[in-house]
């Protein structure tokens, strides 16, 4: 077998896309006008697939903080956190994000993907067992594989199935690691976290929650689903990303487990990756302070999500979950989803196209993500584009 033979199925899929004249995975935004508008194929386009939940990518204070760090600390650290890449800002951000969640300490990683990869590969080794929701993000699966832990999947959002599998573990359940997400990225549905915590309380184990899509979105402070449900003390580890609500790049884990500091010295993705640039750290810290300071952006985000959800529901579209910043429209058939996505783009609306096998249950999704920066006029324009395509169906 040749080294490239494994890519034959992928090559065949690419050929099918080329035959349709549609390339959804190579779209370039030629010009960024605002957090919610850009130019694609020379056409002004509403950006409704960016995960820029609070619209902070153009916030003047965040930009000013990044500019100051750029001028005083340079373009990059040129080294890992374990070598020369730990600046005072990195440590301050770790302390601030830990304080935000009411945890003892935190670790900052270069990306959200690496936060899961770095934590799980160090935390869950060959003698350990992890139980993860079947719809968990690829970074969670990859981190578990890298660590070599025994992986047990339970049915998506099914605490009863988790309990059954914990029961089978017997005494091993006391040291098992349970992995769930606050808001799942594909459909935008929430974890039944109270019921998951009940299972943990019955059988033991440790709970890690990925709040990547719920940080800045849920909870009185914006900590996520774990805060909204009053379960912060039940989460042993909380991981997330700075690339969505906080408009930057990077990832984190916060915890009050005393051994968290030891993970810093055993996590290969942390040890061997260059640390985030000073400008990225500075803008992220500024965005976090803004998140702590008020709730108006979250209220606007929820209003926008409700408006789009109501509009698409009224048009008769099948939606993946109740209102959240992620609103996924289920489309029957891969070819139909490809064409639908392209038709939206031609009408000046950019969304995400999600196809199997990356999607739950092999469905095809047109995935919208809302921002606090979207205007009601923009949301109505998105609904109008969907309405026009509905009329042509």
* Structural domains in the chain, sorted by start: 8-47+295-392 (3.90.1150.10), 59-293 (3.40.640.10)
pLDDT at 22: 82
Residues of the chain with pLDDT under 50: none
- Of 110, 121, 185, 245, the active-site residue reads 185
What string of H, E and C letters represents the secondary structure of the chain?
CCCCHHHHHHHHHHHHHHHHCCCCCCCCCCEEEECCEEEECCEEEEECECCCCCCHHHCHHHHHHHHHHHHHHCCCCCCECCCCCCCHHHHHHHHHHHHHHCCCEEEEECCHHHHHHHHHHHHCCCCCEEEEECCCCHHHHHHHHHHCCEEEEECCCCHHHHHHHHHHHHHHHHHCEEEEECECCCCCCECCHHHHHHHHHHHCCEEEEECCCCCCCCCCCCCCHHHHCCCHHHCCEEEEECCCCCCCCCEEEEECCCCHHHHHCCCHHHHCCECCCHHHHHHHHHHHHHHHHCCHHHHHHHHHHHHHHHHHHHCCCCECCCCCCEEEEEECCHHHHHHHHHHHHHCCEECEEECCCCCHHHCEEEEEECCCCCCHHHHHHHHHHHHHHHHHC
pLDDT at 56: 97
Q: 244 catalytic, yes or no? A: yes
pLDDT, tens only, 156-211: 999 999 999 999 999 999 999 999 999 999 999 999 999 999 999 999 999 999 99
pLDDT at 12: 83
Q: 185 catalytic, yes or no? A: yes
pLDDT at 1: 67
Q: 213 catalytic, yes or no? A: yes
- Of 103, 244, 290, 374, the active-site residue reads 244
pLDDT at 19: 78
pLDDT at 11: 85
pTM over 0.85: yes
């Amino acid at each position: 077998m040749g080294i490239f033979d494994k890519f034959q199925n992928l090559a065949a899929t690419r050929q099918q896309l080329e035959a349709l004249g549609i390339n959804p995975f190579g779209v370039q935004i030629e010009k960024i006008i605002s957090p919610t508008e850009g130019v694609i194929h020379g056409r002004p386009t509403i950006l409704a697939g960016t995960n820029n939940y609070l619209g902070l990518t153009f916030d003047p204070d965040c930009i000013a903080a990044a500019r100051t760090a750029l001028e005083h600390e340079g373009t990059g650290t040129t080294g890992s956190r374990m070598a020369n890449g730990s600046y005072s800002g990195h440590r301050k951000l770790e302390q601030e994000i830990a304080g935000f969640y009411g945890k003892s300490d935190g670790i900052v990683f270069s990306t959200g993907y690496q936060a899961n990869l770095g934590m799980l590969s160090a935390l869950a080794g060959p003698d350990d067992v992890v139980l993860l929701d079947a719809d968990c993000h690829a970074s969670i699966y990859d981190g578990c594989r890298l660590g070599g832990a025994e992986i047990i999947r339970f049915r998506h959002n099914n605490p009863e199935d988790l309990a059954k599998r914990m029961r089978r573990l017997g005494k091993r359940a006391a040291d098992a690691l349970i992995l769930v997400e606050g808001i799942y990225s594909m459909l935008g549905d929430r974890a039944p976290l109270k019921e998951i915590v009940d299972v943990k309380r019955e059988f033991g184990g440790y709970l890690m929650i990925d709040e990547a899509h719920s940080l800045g979105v849920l909870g009185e402070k914006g900590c996520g689903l774990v805060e909204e449900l009053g379960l912060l003390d039940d989460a042993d580890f909380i991981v997330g990303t700075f690339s969505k609500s906080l408009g930057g790049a990077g990832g984190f884990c916060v915890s009050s487990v005393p051994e968290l500091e030891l993970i810093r010295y055993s996590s290969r993705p942390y040890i061997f990756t260059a640390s985030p640039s000073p400008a990225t750290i500075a803008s992220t810290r500024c965005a976090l302070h803004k998140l702590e300071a008020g709730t108006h952006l979250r209220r606007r985000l929820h209003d926008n999500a409700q408006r789009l959800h109501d509009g698409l529901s009224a048009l008769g579209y099948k939606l993946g979950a109740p209102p959240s910043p992620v609103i996924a429209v289920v489309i029957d058939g891969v070819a139909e989803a490809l064409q639908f996505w392209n038709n939206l783009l031609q009408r000046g609306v950019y969304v995400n196209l999600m196809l199997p096998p990356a999607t739950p249950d092999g469905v095809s999704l047109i995935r919208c993500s809302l921002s606090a920066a979207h205007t009601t006029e923009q949301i109505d324009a998105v609904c109008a584009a969907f309405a026009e395509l509905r009329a042509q169906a």
